[in-house]
Amino acid sequence: MPEGDTIYRAARALQKAIGGKVVTGFDTGLAKLARVNDDAPLVGRTVEKVESRGKWCLISFSGDLILVTHMLMSGSWHLYRTGGVVVDGKGSDAGGGSDGGMGGCGVQYSGGRVSYGAVSGTK
């Protein structure tokens, strides 16, 4: 089970890899995430910051959007050297593979719990 220090290290690694980069692709197998992405697409948004809060990993995007993940018992984030970022739900709850412009980095999330919503206010 991932503990607080694991989530903290994952958030720091993600911040270093994708912080300040522009999302070039997004894909998910989760209907809830797909609906939100249809209304407020992630492609073209900048990853403003990645941080941990307790056992949660939060990825904040420009335009007041945030991807919130909880690793539960077996969730994990993976970084790949590619051409951009795509969040890919094939075989995982959400994540990112890629092609296109995030400084050669792809991101994929496996397992755990994922939600996505507005940053404004206190969620």
| Residues assigned a catalytic role | 2-3, 55
In which residue are the tokens 């307790």 written? 54
Q: What is the end-to-end Cα distance of the chain in Å, rounded?
A: 24
Bridge partners, residue 60, by sequence: 49, 66
Q: Tokens in use for 54?
A: 């307790």
Please state, in angstroms and rounded to a whole number, the distance separating the CA atoms of residues 90 and 28. 7
- CB-count exposure of residue 81 (10 Å: 0-12, 13-18, 19+): exposed
Q: Tokens in use for 52?
A: 């941990």
Please state, in angstroms and rounded to a whole number, the distance separating the CA atoms of residues 5 and 55. 9
